[in-house]
Amino acid sequence: MNGKRYSRQRELIYETLMHTNEHPTAEMVYQWLKPENPSLSLGTVYRNLNVLADEGRIRRMAFPVERYDADLHAHPHFRCDKCGAVYDMDFPYNSELDRRALETSAHQVEGHEVIFHGVCVNCKTLH
Amino acid sequence: MNGKRYSRQRELIYETLMHTNEHPTAEMVYQWLKPENPSLSLGTVYRNLNVLADEGRIRRMAFPVERYDADLHAHPHFRCDKCGAVYDMDFPYNSELDRRALETSAHQVEGHEVIFHGVCVNCKTLH
DNA sequence: TTAGGTGCAAACAATTTGCCGTGTT
DNA sequence: AACACGGCAAATTGTTTGCACCTAA
């Protein structure tokens, strides 16, 4: 009753994502597909990106809203998949990683962030 | 000529951030301060969070917009501070980190992400 | 006195949703 | 024929900005 059926638009969007390494935004996908598919709408792109992500065929990559931290010391964070809360993690910064990133890429690497995710203590005990 | 002067609101916001580990959003800071400071406006909170972040007194923690990736294999990313482009990095996944995170925290850690940042090849050569 | 700061509301940007006609099964 | 899907536009949500007034220096 709640099954997905084939949709040309959804497959187009998925194929687009499969064949790029640009980690595009919804808007980018829309702009790429629009010329060949003039009737495509931005809402459809958003809807299908969400469907694909919920099905696990693609991955979302972002914090949904901006958050702020007064602790300037580089440290990893943990983000709860359930409630969205962000916690500090007490790990040393691994600058070795930055050195290796510099070696293996052509970018000017200036640092990195580590973000763990899962279910936080709070959500775990509440249910 | 372009100097900052003292502002009660800015210090309030900064103090709030200093005394929490919740990595709050602008909205959260606003809600916390509002009861004691009824005239405070949300725009002021945003403005001062940006000022503080630009001065380097606090840190922003987010990708500005959602991006998508069809590569489900866990791999680190590089995000350009100048143009916002996101690139893949070719590093092995370090599941050792997840094990240690599980040990040192009370959360149910399910994985992690590594995000490097700096200036990408493209922006580097263009200027 | 004067440039920077604030409140407020309007503008903007990113994303979601309701409605209704279309397409897949 | 049933019901998921897409187009469109309106609604929501997160964030920025213009303007008139206020305040630290």
What's residue B2's pLDDT? 64
Bridge-partner residues for B87, per DSSP?
Answer: B78
Protein residue with the closest CA to the C1' atom of nucleotide C13: B65
Chain C bases under 7 Å from protein CB?
3-10, 14-18, 24-25
Task: Reply yes or no on whether the pLDDT at B111 is more than 60.
Answer: yes
Residues 101-120 of A with CB under 8 A from B: 101, 104-120
* Residue with smallest Cα–C1' gap to D5: A7
pLDDT one-digit tens code per residue, B5-42: 999 999 999 999 999 988 899 999 999 999 999 999 99
Q: Which residues of B are less than 8 Å from A80 in CB distance?
A: 107
| Average confidence (pLDDT) over A14-43 | 94
CB distance from A121 to chain B under 8 Å?
Answer: yes
Instruction: Specify the pLDDT at position A127.
Output: 64
pLDDT tens for residues B58-87? 988 876 567 888 788 889 999 998 888 899
Residues in CB range of A68: below 8 A, 6 or more apart: B17, B23, B24, B25, B26, B29, B49, B52, B53, B58, B59, B60, B61
pTM value is: 0.86
Task: Give the closest-approach CA distance of A84 to chain B in angstroms.
Answer: 11
Task: Report the run of H or E that residue B113 belongs to, with start and end.
Answer: strand B108-119
